[in-house]
Amino acid sequence: MDELISLFPTPFLRCPAALSRPLVEGLITHFVDKATRDNNSSARLSHTEMLKPSDSPLFVEAAGLITPKLVDFGAQMFGERIGWALKEMWVNVLAPGGHQAMHNHANSFISGVVYLTPTHPGSQTVFMKSPGGHDFAFRNDHARVTPGPFSADKWISPAPSPGDLVLFPSYLMHAVPPNRGERRITLSFNAIPARLDSWGYTIGFTG
């Protein structure tokens, strides 16, 4: 029997209800008014400054729930259960009509999003292959094509509920289409491992 093998897949972890409703509501109440920093991709997107978990008891509580998931996800990425630390956290507020341009996250290894409010179906986070990837130079791309995991260049993440968490490698490109719903609020973060060891060549990281 023929066997189709998914070779070197990209990991993506979805954790429903990772944060409780009271914690989600507390984050919204405390941080929305602090999201005053403009974003270059859209005049209707703002965010807080980059904060450390220790900057807020709410972040400390959220980090306590997120960190075990980072250890689980890191074991899939690096083949070993090692310590992980949240390097920075921030809250995004996307007003109706706003969008987030395609980007990835530098200086980190795992990035994540916690959805704090309902998300319009047309504004779910979109993940895409890197523009400088390893695809053929000539594509088969027309109206009759049926995209699949090996041919598609975009993937729309599942519909989230408030409190849901997603984790992904920081190099993965992602974007948010124009928001056709109510105000969309998310908590984003970057994480680094305590150390990486390549046959005796060990490097440590600090937040």
Alpha carbons 154 and 48: distance in angstroms, whole number:
28
Rounded to whole angstroms, the Cα distance separating 192 from 207 reads 7
pLDDT digit of tens for each residue in the chain (207 aa)? 999 999 999 999 999 999 999 999 999 999 999 999 998 888 999 999 999 999 999 999 999 999 999 999 999 999 999 999 999 999 999 999 999 999 999 999 999 999 999 999 999 999 998 877 666 778 888 999 999 988 888 999 999 999 999 999 999 999 999 999 999 999 999 999 999 999 999 999 876
Contacts of residue 71, Cβ cutoff 8 Å, sequence gap at least 6 = 81, 82, 83, 84
Residue 41, pLDDT score: 80
Whole-prediction pTM value?
0.94
The answer to whether 126 and 157 are in contact (CB under 8 A) is yes
Domains of the chain in sequence order: 13-133+145-194 (2.60.120.620)
